[in-house]
């Protein structure tokens, strides 16, 4: 026989139902086949013949079939490759007739071994053909170190990441960091007490006020007998609005929540006082167009109808309005 194909490995994706997988290349014995299953966590597991799978077709020119006892699940990868033992088992007896079939089978096995080795070499890291570098060796593994070229640039060495200028997180306070990877631990590292930790862990304004024994502000007191410029309502509930544009909106808060029900226009709107206003627009898949009357610096992001929220910040000074920020936020 001859080996006209250089194929020595095949890869399949699991679907939870398929258990039979074609082996599109010849193999002489079941022991010459290696089956590897990669799970959804990208961990490889070498399978065991009979226990995990069965083979048919050994010695067939066209290949055979690998039957898994448990069909691979979706997201799992099945690799079937030929990996014959690197041994020579043919013994020629002097003065016997030349065993052509046996000799050809031995040559076929040598070819299969070469193909298996070539497949492995194809997955290794090599220097390009024009490289003159030789003698490069991998050092022994060293925990917490990374591979890098030595100072002469002619071999690899284990290097400390700090020595290479790499910043590792969490960064200690002595090195200019917080010594933590979350807000609560960072505050603790800086010496904040229980109140500071509770405030950092608060998820809304009511929890934050409770953490510091605060009381909600009385907006009527804040607004009474004060100039228009100071009539801010930060901390109050956001104003909600529905409609296809802002022509019917009477603004009485500096935070406005607007959920679109169809394609709409962010048109000009009267603002009661100078200051900053934040529009939280929830597009729900509908398009939104900015009116040309708003002044911008020309660097605003494009409106994304697929965003969870489009946050538009408007500043008004001397009745002149400008959009200073536009963010497309995830849901």
176 within domain boundaries: no
* pLDDT tens string 242-264: 889 998 899 988 899 999 999 99
116 within domain boundaries: yes
Confidence bin at 180 (pLDDT 50/70/90): confident
* pLDDT tens string 81-98: 999 988 888 888 888 888
Mean of pLDDT values over 295-324: 86
Asked if the model's pLDDT at residue 224 lies above 70, the reply is no
Query: How far apart (Å, rounded) are the C-alpha atoms in residues 281 and 139?
Result: 56
Burial 279-294 (b: 16+ CB within 10 A, else e): bbbbbeeeebebeeeb
79 within domain boundaries: yes
CB 245 within 8 A of CB 264: yes
255 within domain boundaries: yes
* pLDDT tens string 20-40: 999 999 999 999 999 999 999
- Predicted TM-score (pTM) of the model is 0.46
Q: Count of CB atoms within 10 A of residue 70's CB?
A: 12
Q: Give the domain extent around 15.
A: 9-91+98-122
44 within domain boundaries: yes
Query: How far apart (Å, rounded) are the C-alpha atoms in residues 122 and 2?
Result: 23
Residues ≥6 apart with Cβ < 8 Å to 88: 106
pLDDT of residue 44: 95
Q: Count of CB atoms within 10 A of residue 196's CB?
A: 17
Q: Residue 260 gets which letter from DSSP? A: -
* pLDDT tens string 114-150: 888 888 888 888 888 888 888 898 899 988 888 889 8
284 within domain boundaries: yes
188 within domain boundaries: no
10 vs 225 pLDDT, higher one: 10
State the total domains in the chain.
2
β-strands 255-259, 275-282: how paired? parallel
Q: Count of CB atoms within 10 A of residue 124's CB?
A: 6
262 vs 300 pLDDT, higher one: 262
* 276 DSSP β-pair partners: 315
34 within domain boundaries: yes
* pLDDT tens string 39-62: 999 999 999 999 999 999 998 989
CB 239 within 8 A of CB 261: no
Reading the block at residue 302, the tokens are 């494009």
Confidence bin at 233 (pLDDT 50/70/90): very low
Burial 229-252 (b: 16+ CB within 10 A, else e): eebbbeebeebebeeeebeebebe
Asked if the model's pLDDT at residue 189 lies above 70, the reply is no
Spell out where the chain has E strands: 9-13, 20-23, 33-38, 44-46, 53-56, 64-68, 77-82, 145-149, 156-160, 239-241, 255-259, 264-266, 275-282, 288-290, 309-317, 320-329
């Amino acid at each position: 026989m001859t080996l006209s194909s250089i194929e020595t490995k095949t890869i399949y994706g699991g679907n939870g139902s398929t258990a039979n997988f074609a082996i599109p290349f010849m193999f002489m014995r079941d022991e010459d086949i290696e089956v590897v299953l990669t799970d959804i966590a990208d961990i490889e597991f070498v399978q065991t013949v009979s226990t995990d799978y069965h083979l048919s077709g050994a010695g067939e020119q066209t290949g055979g079939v690998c039957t898994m006892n448990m069909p691979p699940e979706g997201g799992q990868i099945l690799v079937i490759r030929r990996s014959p033992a690197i041994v020579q088992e043919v013994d020629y007896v002097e003065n016997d007739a030349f065993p052509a079939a046996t000799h050809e089978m031995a040559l076929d096995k040598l070819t299969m071994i070469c193909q298996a080795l070539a497949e492995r070499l194809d997955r290794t890291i090599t220097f390009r053909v024009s490289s003159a570098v030789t003698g490069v060796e991998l050092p022994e593994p060293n925990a917490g170190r990374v591979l890098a070229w030595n100072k002469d640039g002619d071999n690899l060495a284990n290097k400390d990441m700090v020595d290479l200028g790499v910043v590792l997180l969490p960064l200690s306070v002595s090195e200019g960091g917080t010594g933590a990877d979350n807000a609560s631990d960072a505050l603790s590292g800086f010496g904040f007490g229980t109140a500071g930790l509770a405030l950092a862990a608060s998820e809304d304004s009511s929890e934050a006020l409770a953490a510091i024994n605060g009381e909600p502000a009385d907006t009527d007191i804040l607004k009474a007998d004060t100039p228009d410029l100071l009539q801010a309502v930060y901390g109050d509930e956001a104003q909600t609005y529905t409609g296809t544009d802002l022509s019917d909106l009477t603004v009485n808060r500096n935070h406005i929540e607007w959920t679109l029900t169809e394609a709409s226009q962010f048109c000009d709107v009267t603002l009661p006082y100078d200051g900053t206003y934040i529009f939280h627009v929830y597009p729900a898949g509908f398009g939104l167009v900015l009116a040309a009357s708003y002044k911008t610096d020309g660097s605003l992001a494009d409106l994304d109808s697929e965003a969870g929220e489009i946050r538009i910040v408007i500043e008004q000074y001397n009745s002149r309005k400008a959009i200073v920020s536009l963010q497309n936020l995830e849901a």
